[in-house]
Amino acid sequence: MDRLILTLLMAALLTFGSFAAEVEIQSDCVSLQDLLGDNYPELSVQCGFLPGDTKIVPSGNVLSALKRNSLSPTELEESYTVTRAGVKLEPELVRTELTALYRVNHPGKIIEVELVRLSRDLHLPPGPCYDYIVATPKFGSAYGSIVSGSVKINFSYNVKVYEKGYVLISGLRSGDELGGAVMEELIDVTNLRTPLVKDLTDMIAARSATKGKVLTMDMVQPRPEKKKGDAVVLIYDKGSIKLEIECVAEGNAVPGNTLAVRNPSSGKVINATYMGDGFAVVN
């Protein structure tokens, strides 16, 4: 009896090794060749490995694959630890790809992608990083997804946009010159609703503003050729009637803008289009 038990134990040791073998594969299936060597065909033993997956393949699965293919059993390990090659997707890679995408879609702007958060870990196969990436094409908080094979994960991120503009280094009052009151800086315009002032030429303050404010288009106005109280020649030209009347400007006169002018003789106020060089035409 003891001899029979010893014989059975010896047979088991010949059939199954005492340690689990570690195997790395490149595809989603592990084959007999992967587990047993080049003398065996590339016939699948177990599938469903995603990049980065590690699974235990029991020897019973290997025996079943051998028998299915009419192959003789061989010395096997008790189990096999199989890992499919893969690289963990890091937020930094996603951030780099998103930055490139936004820069293509918004040339000339300074883009900063931050706070990339993946919904879960994803390992990518060697070579192409992903099948495609979808990003919400907007600034501020946004969302996207990455698909690799049959696996999809979502992610969130934040996009900041910067442009060169001006910041007030002193307070302004309506009508003030801008030259000595501003300093050029790189400004975060992600949530800015009004465009930045890009050119200070012939511009003055349109309203009061405090030190530290970003200079936007609603805060400036063209420098007027004429100011309130200045003389303006009003032209009336209708058919055979043409009149030129010297009037008084009731506000700042900017070429192309409507200007209220007052006839000093009658006191009547008329709206006209200021043409420049001290002339206004009746609307």
Cα–Cα distance, 205 to 259 (Å, whole number):
19
Q: Which segment of 19-23, 101-105, 220-224, 238-242 scores lowest on mean pLDDT?
A: 19-23
Sign of CA dihedral 101, 106, 109, 111: negative
The model carries a pTM of 0.59
The residue assigned the tokens 């890091």 is 90
Mean pLDDT of the chain: 86
User: Given a cut of 60, is residue 19 above it in pLDDT?
Assistant: no
Cβ-contact 186, 164 below 8 angstroms: yes
Average pLDDT over residues 173-190: 90
Sorting pLDDT into bands at 50, 70 and 90, what band is 56?
very high
Cα–Cα distance, 228 to 248 (Å, whole number):
8
pLDDT in tens, 91-134: 998 899 899 888 888 888 899 999 999 998 888 887 656 666 77
pLDDT in tens, 64-92: 999 999 988 778 889 999 999 988 888 99
Question: Which phi and psi angles does 234 have, rounded to 5°?
Answer: -95, 125
Provide long-range contacts, Cβ within 8 A and 24+ apart, for 98-104.
98/133, 98/135, 98/144, 98/157, 98/159, 101/133, 101/135, 102/135, 102/159
Cα–Cα distance, 270 to 214 (Å, whole number):
37
How far from 121 is each of 76, 83, 184, 277, CA to CA, in Å? 33, 16, 43, 69
Closest CA to 203 of 166, 230, 170, 233: 166
Cα–Cα distance, 70 to 65 (Å, whole number):
9
Average pLDDT over residues 226-234: 93
Write down the pLDDT at residue 129.
62
How far from 152 is each of 29, 50, 121, 155, 205, CA to CA, in Å? 20, 12, 11, 10, 53
User: Given a cut of 90, is residue 54 above it in pLDDT?
Assistant: yes
Beta bridge mates, 205: 220
Cα–Cα distance, 27 to 126 (Å, whole number):
10
End-to-end CA distance of the chain: 122
